[in-house]
Amino acid sequence: MALRHFFKIFNCKIMISVNHNKQTIDLFEKSSSDCFFGRAPMIYDELSKSDILFVGVNPSFIDTDKSLHFVKINCMKNDSTAYLSNLKKSNFEALFYDLDSVNSNIKTLGDIHKVFRQNYSYFKKFNHIADQLNVTIEHLDLLPVRETSQKLVVKLLSQNQEFTNACFDIFLSALKQISPKAIIIENSFIRDLLINSSHPEIRNYFPSYDFKSFKSSEVGTPINKYGMAVYYTSMLTGQRAIDLGSYNRLIWSLNKFLK
């Protein structure tokens, strides 16, 4: 029974990421390459049903030399990604810029994400919260486009509502499968994007701070239509990171809600 349960969980992880990646690639193939800033879309190695879902804007795009260096240093920590140490710079760049080969590069792109997910400093606070509360976590970006400049991302979305709604549809599909008990929106831009969205389903998941109408929990955060607690916070890492007191208060609130 234990082995059967393991395979059920493993298959669920694979299927959520397979579905998400397929929808992302379908959008990528029918959209202008400008919508993806001329780069391959975000591909996940796996996505899991989890207690807490952290939501970011979109994957940043670090300089390819720095990215390759990071991957080569950290990929050896996991047997399943060790093969990435053999990547040459030209092959690494082609993974992101050879837009005709994205379908054949899904596994490699997913494994590169795995290396970053397991080792990049951005994810450390998420893992710390998981350890503190003994819960499962997942991270998902709202948009599958690779770009560091938020100004360029804002401009893209303001000029292409159809593309924005398509990204929302893909995001919502994964959110429903991950089925978290709590959602943490750790960026003010996507907070405003979500609570002001005209998308028919988004508002059901992301209530605004309307104190006269939203349903709140005893821990003081909005509860969406499906009983999920929604936390609108600052970034958890980086120069504009949430202060330590607010970070600890977030952990306390999550613990109280999840228990």
pTM comes to 0.91
pLDDT tens series, the chain, 259 aa: 443 443 344 445 668 999 999 999 999 999 999 999 999 999 999 999 999 999 999 998 888 999 999 999 999 999 999 999 999 999 999 999 999 999 999 999 999 999 999 999 999 999 999 999 999 999 999 999 999 999 999 999 999 999 999 999 999 999 999 999 999 999 889 999 999 998 889 989 998 876 665 566 677 788 899 999 999 998 898 877 889 999 999 999 999 999 8
Report pLDDT for 216: 61
Q: Is the dihedral of CA 194, 195, 199, 204 positive or negative?
A: positive
CB neighbour class for 6 (10 Å; exposed up to 12, middle 13-18, buried from 19):
exposed
Report pLDDT for 212: 63
Please state, in angstroms and rounded to a whole number, the distance separating the CA atoms of residues 218 and 140: 27
Q: What CA–CA distances, in Å, run from 114 to 120, 161, 245? A: 10, 31, 30
Locate all alpha helices (DSSP H) within 85-187, ordered by sequence.
89-97, 106-119, 124-133, 150-159, 161-178
Report pLDDT for 4: 45
Report pLDDT for 111: 97
DSSP secondary structure letter of residue 40: P
Residue 139 pairs in a beta bridge with: 54
Please state, in angstroms and rounded to a whole number, the distance separating the CA atoms of residues 215 and 251: 21
Report pLDDT for 240: 79
Write out the H or E segment, with its range, that includes residue 139: strand 137-141
Pick the CATH number of 2-62+122-258 from 3.30.70, 1.10.12, 2.60.40, 3.40.470: 3.40.470
Q: Decide if 230 contacts 183 (C-beta within 8 A).
A: yes
- Amino acid 242 reads I
Q: Is the dihedral of CA 106, 119, 240, 172 positive or negative?
A: positive
Report pLDDT for 259: 85
